[in-house]
């Protein structure tokens, strides 16, 4: 097995102690590994002038071996060395272990916003990233700010606001404030906590109709909630799921669809709060994959509201909403889909693999595009601007891939 030893900032030990620790670990069958970028300050005896500072640029299985490469074996063992180890900084660790769960484009189509597992929202400039003179510097966020204490599972954009959600309150920020970097929460909505303390919000959907705007949230207390975005009033609570809600999709002016850990896809009448239809993909032979479970993590509806795609533990599948029947199963036997969307005459999906799949409606896989995240949580297409129409891929990586041609990665944005 492999053991990465945590090293406290400023920790001091002798080479002998380090070697002794390594020998004990190896005797237990543990492989000892120093992970870069670890900085070493070393001195021997009282000759402070001989102090040196090095950074390990590659994995070394022995600290003593690393030092002997720098000063020579005889020098290393002639003196009593003292080693000061400085572990990688918190900000660097966060970058390396970042997971981007959510993303959305600004109403002007010139900016991409992402939300990660540390509660940060990052803003990227597409004109800068896509310019002929672009470089790694222009692929970095132009603004990053702490929006939530922990993960941001959902981001949606309106003409005025970017709305973020994770654990705790749903928050809204003005795009104009983000552009001017005068950040403040302009309004927030609290999830009712009568059943579960501080339930998380896993999905958001904005429904803007003439004269009204509603925000729907799918939450960890098994419920869906609907608010009036103009007044902040909680309008409806949709109850019926037996486990937490993963995903939402708006079907039409009077129906919303939810997918849950309980294995059901439910269609709700937004006027009455009633569940009018209930689907269980794990009970359909061509969809069932009991080895992965029954949970539903993604659901999407086409522009005509005739077709739905859903997946998770069960295979990704296409459903005809009028007949409530499954017509196509997308064959990816080892993949649990975590995101799906309709785009033109295709279905685009991502899951627990470093690829984005493009499917024909018939079920044929059209493209299998490699990406930076080892697990894909969100795919977004910028429909706001023809000049910056890109496909963005986010997931278990600090990198967000940008595809100008949807069939391959053009560049990766980084925090």
Domain CATH code at residue 268:
2.130.10.10
Distance CA 308, CA 293 (A): 20
Q: Long-range CB contacts (< 8 A, 24+ apart) of 388-393?
A: 388/109, 388/110, 388/126, 388/127, 388/130, 389/109, 390/126, 390/130, 391/348, 391/356, 392/103, 392/112, 393/350, 393/356
In 313-403, at which residue ranges do the beta strands (DSSP E only) sit? 317-320, 325-329, 337-343, 346-351, 355-360, 365-370, 376-381, 391-395, 399-403
pTM of the full structure: 0.78
Q: What is the mean pLDDT of residues 380-406?
A: 96
Of 95 and 73, the one with more pLDDT? 95
Q: Please check whether residues 163 and 25 belong to one and the same domain.
A: no
Quote the tokens at residue 361.
């409606």
Give residue-wise pLDDT tens across range 326-373. 999 999 999 999 999 999 999 999 999 999 999 999 999 999 999 999
Residue 17: how many other CB atoms lie within 10 Å: 12
Q: Please check whether residues 19 and 141 belong to one and the same domain.
A: no
Q: Please check whether residues 62 and 98 belong to one and the same domain.
A: no
Query: Which pLDDT belongs to residue 178?
Result: 95
Distance CA 229, CA 310 (A): 28
Query: Which pLDDT belongs to residue 91?
Result: 55
Distance CA 389, CA 316 (A): 26
Q: Please check whether residues 101 and 79 belong to one and the same domain.
A: no
Domain boundary among 88, 105, 120: 88
Split into its structural domains, the chain has a count of 2
Query: Which pLDDT belongs to residue 130?
Result: 97
Q: Please check whether residues 157 and 210 belong to one and the same domain.
A: yes
Residue 45's Cα: distance from chain center in Å? Answer: 49
Distance CA 319, CA 10 (A): 58
Domain boundary among 88, 119, 146: 88
Give residue-wise pLDDT tens across range 307-321. 999 999 999 999 999
Q: Please check whether residues 42 and 68 belong to one and the same domain.
A: yes
Q: Please check whether residues 67 and 109 belong to one and the same domain.
A: no
Of 247 and 43, the one with more pLDDT? 247
CA atoms in the 13 A half-sphere facing the CB of 116? 24
Omega within 30 of 0 (cis) for the link into 37: yes
pLDDT at 36 over 80: no
Q: Please check whether residues 73 and 165 belong to one and the same domain.
A: no
Inter-CA distances, 344 with 197, 304, 348, 360, 371, Å: 41, 11, 10, 10, 22
Give residue-wise pLDDT tens across range 176-193. 999 999 999 999 999 987
Q: Please check whether residues 81 and 96 belong to one and the same domain.
A: no
Distance CA 293, CA 33 (A): 36
Give residue-wise pLDDT tens across range 111-147. 999 999 999 999 999 999 999 999 999 999 999 999 9
Distance CA 97, CA 75 (A): 38
Strand-pair category, 317-320 with 325-329: antiparallel
Distance CA 398, CA 415 (A): 6
Q: Please check whether residues 200 and 247 belong to one and the same domain.
A: yes
Query: Which pLDDT belongs to residue 299?
Result: 99
Query: Which pLDDT belongs to residue 49?
Result: 30
Residue 170's Cα: distance from chain center in Å? Answer: 17
Domain boundary among 59, 88, 117: 88
Quote the tokens at residue 244.
């937490």
Range of the structural domain that residue 6 is part of: 2-88
Q: Please check whether residues 387 and 245 belong to one and the same domain.
A: yes
Query: Which pLDDT belongs to residue 198?
Result: 75
Q: Please check whether residues 236 and 369 belong to one and the same domain.
A: yes
Query: Which pLDDT belongs to residue 1?
Result: 30
pLDDT at 289 over 50: yes
Q: Side by side, which strands form the sheet with 152-157? A: 152-157, 161-166, 170-174, 185-189
Please list the residues that pair with 103 across neighbouring strands. 114
């Amino acid at each position: 097995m492999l053991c990465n030893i945590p090293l406290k900032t400023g920790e001091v030990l002798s080479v002998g102690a380090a070697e002794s620790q390594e020998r004990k670990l190896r005797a237990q069958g543990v492989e000892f590994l120093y992970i870069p970028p670890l900085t070493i300050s070393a001195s021997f005896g009282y000759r402070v002038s001989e102090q040196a500072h090095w950074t390990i640029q590659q994995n070394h299985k022995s600290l003593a071996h690393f030092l002997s490469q720098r000063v020579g074996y005889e020098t290393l063992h002639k003196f009593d060395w003292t080693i000061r180890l400085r572990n990688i900084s918190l900000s660097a660790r966060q970058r390396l272990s970042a997971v981007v769960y959510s993303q959305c484009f600004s109403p002007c189509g010139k900016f991409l916003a992402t939300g990660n597992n540390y509660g940060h929202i990052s803003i990227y400039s597409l004109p800068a990233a896509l310019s002929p003179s672009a470089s790694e510097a222009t692929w970095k966020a132009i603004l990053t700010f702490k929006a939530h204490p922990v993960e941001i599972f959902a981001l949606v954009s309106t003409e005025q606001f970017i709305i973020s959600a994770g654990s705790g309150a749903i928050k809204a920020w003005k795009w104009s404030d983000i552009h001017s970097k005068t950040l403040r929460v302009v309004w927030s909505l609290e999830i009712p906590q009568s059943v579960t303390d501080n339930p998380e919000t896993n999905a958001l959907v904005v429904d803007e109709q003439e004269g009204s705007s509603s925000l729907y949230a799918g939450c960890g207390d098994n419920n869906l909630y609907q608010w009036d975005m103009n007044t902040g009033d909680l309008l409806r609570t949709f109850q019926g799921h037996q486990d937490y809600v993963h995903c939402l999709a708006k079907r039409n002016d009077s129906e919303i669809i939810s997918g849950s850990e309980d294995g059901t896809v439910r269609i709700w009448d937004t006027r009455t709060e009633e569940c009018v239809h209930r689907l269980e993909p794990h009970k359909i032979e061509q969809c069932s994959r009991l080895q992965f479970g029954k949970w539903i993590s993604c659901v999407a509806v086409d522009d005509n509201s005739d077709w739905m795609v859903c997946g998770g533990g069960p295979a990704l599948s296409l459903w005809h909403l009028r007949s409530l029947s499954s017509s196509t199963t997308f064959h990816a036997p080892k993949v649990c889909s975590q995101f799906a969307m309709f785009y033109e005459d295709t279905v685009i999906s991502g899951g627990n693999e470093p690829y984005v799949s493009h499917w024909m409606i018939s079920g044929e896989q059209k493209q299998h595009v490699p990406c930076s995240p080892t697990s894909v949580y969100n795919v977004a297409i910028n429909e706001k601007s023809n000049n910056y129409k890109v496909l963005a891929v986010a997931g278990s990586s600090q990198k967000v891939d940008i595809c100008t041609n949807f069939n391959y990665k053009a560049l990766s944005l980084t925090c």
